[in-house]
Amino acid sequence: MIKKFLIMPKEEIFYRFKEEFKDGIYKKNYFYLQGRYIDVLFNAHVDTVKRDNQFNITQYGDFIYNRKGILGADDRAGIWIAYNLAKSGASILLTDYEETTKAGVNAFCRDFDDVNHKIFIGLDRRGFKEFVNYGYAAEEINGVFKKLGYKEKIGSYSDVLKLTERYSRLNVNLSVGFYNEHTKDEYLSLSSMHFTLNKCLKLLSYQIPDIKINDYLDFPFADDFPDFTEEDLFKYRQYLLNEEEYENYFRNADKKNK
């Protein structure tokens, strides 16, 4: 099944979801389904960095890769998880153009003034057992994911960040098992992908803390913040500094390097 999702054109993905989940709302750049469970809205994106490549998908133990180019598990692994969650009654949002113009999530944000979800979960992070929240964090929420076995990391962008900014609810982006995304060396760990599906299924019955970020804005500057690289810090700073400060930061970093 994941192989089918890897090679399908994105238009066909939208079509399949629309056919299978009749209550969903399909617009040109997104598909939105409010399921039986509404506390969590799961998000994945249908676009991949390159879709004109050929496919020769090969499995090696737990891993699959494409002998002929980019695999596209970023974010078709997320789409596969979203599909299985939707079958179990979860609420999902599939977006297009995450990798480029953000047209999908922007269209959704334009069409809906408010939503009933308490948290946005991105199924769009590399690796295994990691989560990020793009600068918006509350320990009540992070604690839930730590308990499920995830470690906190720093990330740069996913569509759930836009949802947080629009609807004032926290987000978490979870590892779905792809590695070396956007390159021909990309591969997908099937067990990592299944891990996140299973944890998300568990989450459906959890009581999610009801937190609006206006009430609780806690940037994770605590001493126990996980290890991060200079590059991570740099990306992270984009969200914290205003433009002028950001420019200065660049300039000082440049000077230091000379």
Binding site for Zn ion (CB under 5 A): 74-75, 124
Taking each continuous run of H as one helix and of E as one strand, the counts in the chain are 9, 12
CB atoms within 10 A of CB 184: 14
DSSP string, 39-94: SEEEEEE---S--SS---EEEETTEEEETTS---HHHHHHHHHHHHHHHTT-EEEE
What minimum distance in Å lies between the beta carbon of 104 and Zn ion? 12
Residue closer to Zn ion, measured from CB, 49 or 57: 49
Residue closer to Zn ion, measured from CB, 124 or 186: 124
What minimum distance in Å lies between the beta carbon of 110 and Zn ion? 21
Residue closer to Zn ion, measured from CB, 79 or 144: 79
Backbone angles phi, psi at 74, to 5 degrees: -90, 90
Go through 55-82 and write b for each residue having 16 or more CB atoms within 10 A of its CB, e for each that does not: eebeeeeebbbbeebbbbbbbbbbbbbb
What minimum distance in Å lies between the beta carbon of 73 and Zn ion? 9
What minimum distance in Å lies between the beta carbon of 124 and Zn ion? 4
What minimum distance in Å lies between the beta carbon of 100 and Zn ion? 11
Residues 6+ apart with CB under 8 A from 166: 109
Residue closer to Zn ion, measured from CB, 39 or 124: 124
Q: Which helix (H) or strand (E) holds 27?
A: strand 25-27
Residue closer to Zn ion, measured from CB, 75 or 130: 75
User: How far apart are the C-alpha atoms of 91 and 40, rounded to whole Å?
Assistant: 7
Residue closer to Zn ion, measured from CB, 72 or 138: 72
What minimum distance in Å lies between the beta carbon of 142 and Zn ion? 21
